[in-house]
Structure 1
Amino acid sequence: MPRHLIAALTALCVLCFGVAAAQSSPFFTGRLSNVAVGGYDPVSYFDGTPQRGDRQISRTYRGAAFRFANQENLERFSADPEAYVPQYGGYCAWAVAQGSLSKGDPRYWAIVGGKLYLNYDEGVQALWDRDRAGLIETADANWPEILDR
């Protein structure tokens, strides 16, 4: 078999494996990535100022890579990951309340009841902000079914 054909097939296998790996996580990571929260440090949201994580300071949790701004945040996350991961896997909280999936954008966020929620964009977040409690209740009920699709 010619080398260029072997290289092309190898690249295709790597691409397919990467997509399968990204899809095996319950977290939104994009199509060709396994990085959650768009590379932002999930712990930093709870300190009030979201920060980009450093790719050298990361941890894989439930199939997704989480990045951290510093070692202390990595340690806080490692002690209790569920306290810091975004709800609904980082998908848009408003969309989950509507019964569908849409990417969550790490720039549109809120901490409600000690939990991190992301939304699709500024307009969607404004809709979500009108009835956070009601939409969270609906999204909580929808999430297990949506996740199983």
Structure 2
Amino acid sequence: MRINIMLFSLFFLPSVLMAGEINTDRKNIAIDGYDALAYHLQNKAVKGVSKFSIEWKGAVWYFSSSEYKELFKENPEEYAPLYGGHCANGLSDRHKVYGNPEIWLLQEGELFFFYSRRGRRAWIAETDTKRQQADEYWRLVQFD
């Protein structure tokens, strides 16, 4: 048992602690290549393309059109998912985990991603409390 904990600490914890502010894949593409604007303007998850991409906060962001790319460039904080696209519910439980761009929620104009549908439901059931907890933990783990 002790060996398992030590191995976990050696291999897993450093990767979590080194995870960047933005949820990226191995090619450094933000939010699995989904278009952050589409959630806000089309109310759906839409894959972007490399043809319409920019770099922001050390990650490459894809968009489905030149128009969406330009809108994002003008005000990325308005359109980017909160918590860098990491799971909002996980952060409220003090875990920085992957946020799935296909499991999302727009609340008061803010975009949140979740690891699972269960986490999304938990967030909706206790939004105020979970939001406060996630905000507090995010301040501790984010990288500027």
Same fold (TM over 0.5): yes
Match of 1:45 among 26, 29, 39: 39
Q: Kindly report structure 1 stretches of 4+ aligned residues shifted beyond 6 Å.
A: none
**TM-score of the pair, normalised by structure 2:** 0.81
Alpha-carbon distance in 2 for matches of 1:33, 1:144: 26
Amino acid at match of 1:80: N
Give me the CA root mean square deviation: 1.4
2:122 maps to 1:140:
no
Superposed displacement of residue 24, structure 1: 7.3
Alpha-carbon distance in 2 for matches of 1:58, 1:26: 19
Over 3 Å counting, the alpha-carbon distance change for 1:147 and 1:105 in structure 2 is same
**Gaps in structure 2 of 5+ consecutive residues:** 1-17
- Percentage identity across paired residues of the two chains: 27
Superposed displacement of residue 25, structure 1: 4.1
Aligned equivalent of 2:86: 91
2:5 maps to 1:34:
no
Computing the radius of gyration over CA atoms, which structure comes out larger, 1 or 2? 1
Residue correspondences, number:
125
Confirm or deny: 8 A CA contact 2:37 2:79 kept in the other structure: yes
SS, match of residue 76 in structure 1: helix
Alpha-carbon distance in 2 for matches of 1:72, 1:95: 33
Confirm or deny: 8 A CA contact 1:92 1:104 kept in the other structure: yes
Alpha-carbon distance in 1 for matches of 2:20, 2:55: 10
Superposed displacement of residue 138, structure 1: 1.2
Confirm or deny: 8 A CA contact 1:25 1:64 kept in the other structure: no
Over 3 Å counting, the alpha-carbon distance change for 1:59 and 1:24 in structure 2 is farther
Alpha-carbon distance in 2 for matches of 1:37, 1:66: 8
**Gaps in structure 1 of 5+ consecutive residues:** 1-22
**TM-score of the pair, normalised by structure 1:** 0.79
Over 3 Å counting, the alpha-carbon distance change for 1:60 and 1:133 in structure 2 is same
Alpha-carbon distance in 2 for matches of 1:122, 1:58: 29
Match of 1:55 among 50, 66, 77: 50
Amino acid at match of 1:43: L
Greater RCO (CA < 8 Å, at least 6 residues apart): 2
Alpha-carbon distance in 2 for matches of 1:24, 1:121: 20
Confirm or deny: 8 A CA contact 2:86 2:114 kept in the other structure: yes
